[in-house]
Amino acid sequence: MQHDKKYILQQPLRTPRAAAFAGIFFAVLQTAAIILFQISIPADSFSQKEWLQDQSRNISLALGLMPFAGIAFLWFIGVIRDRLGHLEDQFFSTLFFGTGLLYLAMTFATAAVAGGLLAVYGFNPDLFLEDGFYVFGQAMIYKFNNVFAIRMAGMFMTVSGTIWLRTKLMPLWLAISTYLIAIALLIGISLYPWTTLLFPAWVFVISVYILVLNFRYEHRDGVTYAKLHNT
């Protein structure tokens, strides 16, 4: 008895060309979350406590956006690594991937502490304000976000700029701009809290650039295929 032989054609996984949209989603969601935090939390929040009751809805909305922004950021990291391809170096890839994950971890830690404080306040406001939870939580949020997360974001950008300078995968002006924005982010965060918007803005620009390149190559591939098919 002869058995039919079935052959399975294995194809390598390919990154969807539209995956660069993930960086745009991250930029939009993270920018919205940052703006909600900035307009809701007063500058002297350590001494003022009344804002919690008035701004709890905005804070909850911002916290709800951050997990989805984090997922989109992971996709963005994948898109950048996909563009490197065989040019990827183990040393720089470790720094790139590590700083990206640390930024994401610190951002999630900030959201977790803020969400926990909001939950404790909703459960027992008097206990929250009198037993030191408020001041401790505020300090934790500040350290996680303005010290650790932002520093990791600056390092992530610096490594990205270095990779692009060495591999020539991005234009020179984009690599140099990445360095400058990273320096502004690292220095400006202690002077101007709105500086945190620079990082999602940078991700947005990089994602749009990659997206344009992807669709441009897709168009060229389509024209090439059409010519071959006609011949």
User: What is the model's pLDDT at position 221?
Assistant: 42
Domain residue spans of the chain:
18-230
Q: What is the pTM of this model?
A: 0.79
Q: What are the tens digits of pLDDT across the range 33-43?
A: 999 888 877 66
Q: What are the tens digits of pLDDT across the range 160-191?
A: 999 998 888 888 999 999 999 999 988 887 77
For 205, the enclosing helix (H) or strand (E) is helix 198-230
Place of tokens 């300078």: 165
User: What is the model's pLDDT at position 39?
Assistant: 82
Higher pLDDT, 216 or 168: 168
Q: What are the tens digits of pLDDT across the range 10-29?
A: 445 455 556 778 899 999 99
- Residues near 76 by Cβ (< 8 Å), separated by ≥ 6? 20, 22, 23, 26, 203, 207
Q: What are the tens digits of pLDDT across the range 97-107?
A: 899 999 999 99
- Residues near 139 by Cβ (< 8 Å), separated by ≥ 6? none
